[in-house]
Structure 1
Amino acid sequence: MRLKRFLLRYFPPGIILEYEKRDGSTHMKEINLMELTAESSPGAIADQIIRTEPLVSPARRPQLMRLLGRLCTQLEQYRTADFSLSKILRAHVLPLTNCAFNKNGDRFVTGSYDRTCKVWDTDSGAELHTLEGHSNVVYCVAFNNPFGDKVVTGSFDKTAKVWSASTGECLHTYRGHRTEIVCASFDPNGSTIATGSMDHTAMLWDVETGAALHTLAGHTAEIVTLDFNQTGRQIITGSFDNTVRVWDVRSGACVHTLKGHLGEVSAASFNFEGTTCISGSIDRTCKIWDVASGQCIGTLRGHTDEVLDVAFNPQGTKIVTGSADGTARVFSTATKACTAILVGHSSEISKVAFSPQGHKVLTASSDKTARLWDPEEAKALQVLEGHTDEIFSCAFNYSGDAIITGSKDNTCRIWRCA
């Protein structure tokens, strides 16, 4: 085998080895660097990689050190930077339902009760496309990141549609659900779409052909959240039946049913490596699950009202939970202990996210504000004010220098590092 080149993955940090086998075929191998920090020694890490990875020879050490130095620099980006309002986009004639960036952050999409989805240019604020064709609320939207050339929309009209992000053309309409679709996502390879519905099922679809691949049946109540792992080989679904299920994407078989919550599941997510997943519930807890065994390995307590959203940091070492009690909590995945309570919102927190670097937490609330926090110091860094109604959606772009917030005031706002 011969190493052809290194590729970088900034968040979470990693190096991808592109190598050639003797038969001339090209393959990829990832080296995850979850423990890397801005203070790490590139030389020491390079030496460790060379000792343990046969593809990387000592002659590659200078190049490897340069790349590791770039990763360390990226991890420190925007730590102290403040965000300021860049654009206010009056996106739709009726309230928004969701919004999402593409990977580069130069495009984003919005869905609305007005039955449309719109594609926007982030820098100029220009509307690029209006995606029309649904006959009811467009409730969920997503890009096929990291590619960003397609958009999926899920609607209360029981269908999902796939669109060209560059032309606005509808490529496929997926029919098969019996009631409203409330969550939808591409797998990381961009070849499969999952949709979750109030009809108690999720469905898997082929992006290119538009064919239905599998119906994931077994939940006894609405499916409200789903997430692919990074290989695209497994997916989790969270349901109002109090359970999370792990599914094999290729066969459509249920691998595990994760039981233990005493109330409806509101959110669920894999860590980056796909070894664990988390679920939040109206029973006021978040649970950590071992994906291989299906066993609960931790219950995170402390909230005094429903847990509405959960998220890992990029490295998978921390979890943030947002609750109807108006607080967010940060937990250690290793110790399961609460390390920070983020207090400041005056109403429920419906959305939480870590920055790509992991050194900030973003929260969105029905108090009409979004807030940025230091998760280590439990300190409020900024209040993003100006919306006139509940903020239900918020997200960082891939590099962490832009934030989008979506509100029931029919607008979305773009915030950029000052």
Structure 2
Amino acid sequence: MRLQKFLLRYFPPGIALEYSQRGQVKTKHIDLLSLTPRTDIAELAEAIANKEPLVTKNVVNQLVESLSKLQAKLYDSNKHLFYKYKTLKAHLLPLTNVAIDKQGQRCITGSYDRTCKLWDIDSGQEVHTLEGHRNVVYAVSFNQPFCDKILTGSFDKTARLWSSETGECYHTLWGHSAEVVSVQFNPQSHLVATASMDNTARLYYMVTGQDVAVLEGHTREVVSLHFSNSGQQIITGSFDGTIGIWDTRTAKREGLLVGHSEEISNCLYNFDCSLIASSSMDKTAKIWDPRTMSCLTTITGHQDEILDIAFDYKGQRLATASGDATAMVWDVHSNCNVVAVMQGHSEEVSKVCFSPAGNQLLTASLDQTARLWNAETGICSQVLSGHKDDVFSCCFSYSGHVIITASKDNTCRIWR
């Protein structure tokens, strides 16, 4: 075996060793979730070299240089402030959702006007209008990290797969008997999943658009879904108050997480899929062990419905957004103690996400603003204002240097 080069993954921090073995190029990944701006890089490099035979003495200096780049990226993310860069007058009717590609160069918007639009972030120009749905385009997604395809879900009971390069519609995905409200590519980008108000989720082959499986068992609407990192499992959250765990290879339900007393609003795996988090209209969130199918902790503290949740990149902190106009950050590896409470919005907080580096929290609210918070202290560092109606969606780019906010005022804003 011979090391060829180091490859960097900024968020979450990690490094890959690309090497050749018997004429084949292979890659070994090393997660560096404990890397911080205070980490001693020389000591970290020495520890990696001691464990990895591929890292010989003559490449240690190169490893130190690569690790220093990762560390500098984390430090830079701690200092970044945002300004309004562009306002995209996106649609004739209110927006429903927004997503950004991994490079931070393009974003997509869905709308009540039955279209999805692809935008160039630098120029603010519309690249493609994806037309064909016969009702509201409610859910939109890129196939990360490639971002050469777009998946849309609509109230017309279908999903559609598109080329982000040409705007061509590859497939219309049929089968649901009610609105499609959530869509996702699996990490390997060969399957797509859809969730519907018909109480089911479905799996399709991306290349052919063929219906692979119907995930049946929920007794009410399925509103959220999330693939595991391996793509071999998917979880579904339903208004019946349960979360289903499914094997994507057999389409069999492996488990059912029961404990919430009202509708599920979201469900997620953490980074290494060792935990599942769920949020509910019962004012609680729960942390589950997917191996034992048991609830580890019930998070209480909000005074109203929990509308959204997000893990940080380490999967060790969970953020919750609530109708009580607050967001909170919880340490899920320490009995779910409260780390920070974000108070300042005057209306419900509908969306929450961590910055890629995990040091900031972004919230969207019906008070027409989005806000940036210090994820450790709960102090508001910036108010992103200017929208004329509810801000219902927000997201960071992969690098953390671009934010998109979407509003019922028919616009989305780009912040840099």
Name the TM-score, length of structure 2 as normaliser: 0.97
Cα deviation, residue 59, structure 1: 3.0
Q: How many pairs align?
A: 415
Deviations 1:381-400 (A, max 9, x none): 11111111111100000111
Q: How far apart are the structure 2 equivalents of 1:16 and 1:226? A: 29
Which one is further off, 124-133 or 213-222? Answer: 213-222
Q: What residue is the counterpart of 2:154 in the other structure?
A: 155
Alignment correspondent of 1:374: 374
Cα distance in 1 between the residues matched to 2:251 and 2:191: 12
Structure 2 distance, partners of 1:210, 1:6, is 37
Aligned to 2:186: 187
Distance 1:141 1:410 in 2: 16
Q: Mapping of 1:122-201 within 5 angstroms?
A: 122-201=121-200
| Mapping of residues 70-149 of structure 1, within 5 Å | 70-149=69-148
- Matched position secondary structure for 1:383: strand
What residue identity is the alignment partner of 1:10? Y
Deviation per CA, 1:69-91: give whole Å up to 9, x if none: 11111111232232111111110
Alignment-derived partner of residue 365 in structure 1: 365
In 2, distance between residues paired with 1:27 and 1:226? 32
Query: What CA distance in whole angstroms lies between the structure 2 residues aligned with 1:379 and 1:219?
Result: 40
- Rounded to whole Å, the distance in 1 between the matches of 2:332 and 2:47 is 25
Structure 2: unaligned runs, 5 residues or longer: none
Looking at structure 1, the residues matched to 55 and 227 of structure 2 have their Cα atoms a distance apart, in angstroms, of: 31
Distance 1:149 1:180 in 2: 25
Q: What pairs up with 1:30-45 in 2 under 5 angstroms? A: 30-45=29-44
CA–CA separation in structure 2 for the residues paired with 1:25 and 1:213: 33
Q: Is the 8 A contact 1:77 1:357 kept in 2?
A: no
* Structure 1 residues 208-287: aligned runs within 5 Å: 208-287=207-286
- In structure 2, the residue matched to 1:391 is 391
Unaligned runs of 5+ in 1: none
**Compared with structure 1, are the counterparts of its residues 358 and 159 closer, same or farther at alpha carbon in structure 2 (3 Å cutoff)?**
same
Alpha-carbon offset, residue 26 of structure 1: 3.3
State the Cα deviation string for residues 95-138 of structure 1 (Å, max 9, x = none): 00001001111000000000000000001100000000000100
1:240, 1:114 → 2: CA distance? 26
How far is 1:46 from its partner? 1.3
Q: Give the distance between the partners of 2:292 and 2:181, measured in 1 at CA.
A: 28
Residue deviations 1:315-337, cap 9 Å, x none? 11211100000000110011110
Q: Residue 9 of structure 1 aligns to which amino acid in structure 2?
A: R
User: Per-residue CA shift, 1:323-356, capped at 9, x if unaligned?
Assistant: 0000001100111101111000011111000000
- Partner in structure 2 of residue 290 of structure 1: 289
1:236 Cα shift?
1.1
SS in 2 for 1:78: helix
Shift of 1:270: 1.1
- Whole-Å separation in 2 of the counterparts to 1:246 and 1:26: 35
* CA–CA distance in structure 1, aligned partners of residues 313 and 174 of structure 2: 34
CA contact (8 A) 1:285 1:301 kept: yes
After TM superposition, the structure 1 stretch with the greater mean CA deviation from structure 2, 100-109 or 40-49, is 40-49
**Larger displacement relative to structure 2 (320-329 or 53-62):** 53-62
